[in-house]
Amino acid sequence: MALPSPDIPWWRSGTVYQVYPRSFQDSDGDGVGDLAGIERRLDHIVALGVDAIWLSPIFPSPMADFGYDVADYCGVEPMFGDLAAFDRLLAAAHARGLKLLLDFVPNHSSDRHPWFVASRASRTNPKRDWYIWRDAAAGGGPPNNWISDFGGSAWEWDAATGQYYLHAFLKSQPDLNWRNPDLKRAMFDAMRFWFDRGVDGFRIDVLWHIVKADGFPDNPVNPAWHPGITERDRLIQQHSTDQPEAHAIAAEMRALADEYGGRLLIGEIFLPNDRHARWYGTPERAQVHLPFNFQLIENAWDAATLRATIAAYEASLPPHGWPNWVIGSHDAPRIAARIGEAQARVAAMLLLTLRGTPTLYQGDELGIGQVDIPPERVRDPQELRQPGIGIGRDRSRTPMPWDDSAFAGFSTVEPWLPLNADWRTRNVAAQDGDPSSMLTLYRRLLALRRARPALGLGDIALVEADRDVLAYERRYGGERLLVALNLSDEPRAMPFAGEVLLSTLAGRDDGLRPNEGVVLSPSPRP
């Protein structure tokens, strides 16, 4: 077996685990998770077999959008702890061999950030240009037709200074002006603050939003829009996102990360393949290491669609680009809710055997499915502003169930969001010793991935197979592994001959059983 070169960055063969801090572990009895709680549960993450933790925002915030409205880029929200608690968590993670990534939010701040308080104080304030202010349109009203991602105009009138400010999300999340050199310098100083503290990188929120087109022209109307999708999608975000200047800023961020050596930048990017791939930059002027790839979340769950998705994505990558995949996040429906628990096991194998860096979302390793949020407990501002179209994110942010004690061991009081209804049986303690559990499957998959360079670093080749079967080879040096995934609830022919190293199901059969995925070592060629 060929051994990987020690010069290969850790994240190429590594796996990232997303922690949503509000919902991981409450240590102080307020019903909300915190940094000390995460530290308490690090051994679960180590036992799972991942390499890095990504924390959703922990910065001081009014929590209008649960941390994505930042009031101080160099502090910790008291609800989660303080800088000392963060330093303890970071040290504890590093002591266990885990990397730790923070969620950096560069497109917008909170309207309570001191920068914005100064900016809106007067038109002549030195920080006025740190945000995006414009006069009303000639006939009155907003400067253009841009729509907030949360619905309604992306412009908010400020009566005190007689101008509109831009907000791509909530009106309490004003957009920062990255064309202002002083603002850019301040944001880079914030990144340095955390790098100097020892963080191993950042996941960069809505990176493709951070620069807007000069002149602020209207966005074109989307002819495919219908009332079943978000109001934002009435328009094509041609001028409000993915501007050339944003790529230059991403390259500067990468240069900063490279100064510290071994730090990772993951960019949140929602774009078609050709535009998505540009966020890698070039070998001479690299941008983010991993532009997040959400296609396993966005596309239909069938073999033909997945095969085409994988092929098109792989073909779009530049030679220096490394792929990445996710099947769940704090913004998306749970994978088990979307495709059912049986196929969620197959999805776990797909995620952890494709070429590229996978990101797991907390709770998916337990197979948490649909969680119904009563109307009176809805907290997500996106759903509150646009009810009835199924875009609520609370369902994916429910607390982690640890055991069958009161409040699932997450807290000593009622949590901020409801637990999954089956928490008494679907929890970490219940699945820990069960050889057939989802948790055990994830642990076995991650152990196999860590042990086999073909899975962590190898090439991929899609293979023709029976209908409803997605099949591919992974190769590294002289090692060759085969993966076959049955995406149906009927038996299918096995496309390979070989020794089964791991199945998503107990027992064994000559063919592919319904809802089964297998990793094989091929039989010797005659």
Which single residue is written with the structure tokens 């999708």?
229
DSSP state, residue 64: T
Angle at 293 between CA 292 and CA 299, to 5 degrees: 150
Is 414 one of the annotated active-site residues of the chain?
Answer: no
Cβ-contact 193, 204 below 8 angstroms: no
- Please say if 205 is a catalytic residue: yes
- Sheet strands (E) in 51-167: 52-55, 99-104, 133-134, 155-158, 163-166
DSSP letter for 198, please: T
Q: Which of 189, 218, 259, 459 is catalytic?
A: 259
Q: Residue 197's beta-bridge partner residues? A: none
CA distances (Å), origin 93, targets 10, 12, 70? 15, 19, 24
Which amino acid, 102? L
Helix extents (H) in 141-224: 181-197
Cα distance between residue 295 and residue 276, in whole Å:
11
In angstroms, the first-to-last Cα distance of the chain is 21
Catalytic residue (one of 51, 200, 205, 268): 205
Structure tokens at 410: 């997450």
The pairing of strands 469-476 and 459-463 is antiparallel
* Residues with catalytic function: 205, 259
